[in-house]
Structure 1
Amino acid sequence: MTVCRSGDGIRCTTGDVWSTWIAVVDSDRDGAVDDVLRVGTVAAPVQLRGSSSIRDGRIDFRSDGLARTIDSELLNASFAACLPTSSPVDNVRRISIVSGSRISTHAESGGGRCDAAANL
C-alpha cells in the first residue's frame, strides 16, 4: 500500500504541500496507481507539508508494515501540520517517522509561518 500526495485524488503527484492525499495499491510496484483505496483532504487554513525525504510525494508500506522510501529504504521523514497564524504561538505540529515505524509528534512555533518540514 502507498500513501501519497495527490492533486486530483486519482494519481500520486510530487510536492511538499499535501492538501489532498490518497491511499493506493500499486500491486506490481511500477509507480502507477492500480486502485485508489481512500482519498483524504486537509481543510484550509490548515496546511500539511512533507519533508523532501518523502521523495516523489510517496510513502510505501510493505508487507512487514514498515514505511519505506521509493528506493525501499526505511523512511526517516517528517510532516508539519500548521496554521499560518501567530496565535497560538505553537502553530506547528511536527509529525516524525523514524526507522520506518516509530512515530512521534511535538508542538513548535513557526513564527506564524508554515514552512516545509525539515528532514530528519
Structure 2
Amino acid sequence: MRVMPMPADANANGDIFGGWIMAQADLAGAVLPARIARGRIVTVAVNQFIFKQPVSVGDLLSFYAKVERIGRTSMTVHLEVYAERNPADPVVCKVTEANFTYVAIDREGQPREIER
C-alpha cells in the first residue's frame, strides 16, 4: 500500500501523528490475512510498533507486509514502512516496523478456524 500524508495528518510540530501511521499500517497489514482467511478478520493485538524516524507531510509511505505465522485461528503479520522523501533527489528510509495479530471470525464475531 502507498499513501502520502497530508497537512491534516500532522501534529503541532509538523510531524505526522503516530496514530495516523498506526491506522494506515493496520489497514495495510490486514490485506494478506483477509485473503488467507477468505473472510472476515479482526485485529486482536499490536505486538510491537517501533517508530524509527519521523514522517513529514509529502513523504510517500510504502507499506510492506509479510505473514510470519499462521495458527489455528490467528495470523501474525510483520509490517515495514518506508518513506520516500525529496522528490527532486529521492531518498528512501525505513520509518516504522510493527507486528500485528489478526484473528479470523465468523458472522457472530467468534473465532473460526483458518482453512489450509
Q: Same fold (TM over 0.5)?
A: no
Higher helix proportion, which one? 2
Larger relative contact order (CA 8 Å, sep ≥ 6): 2
Structure 2 length-normalised TM: 0.28
Structure 1 length-normalised TM: 0.28
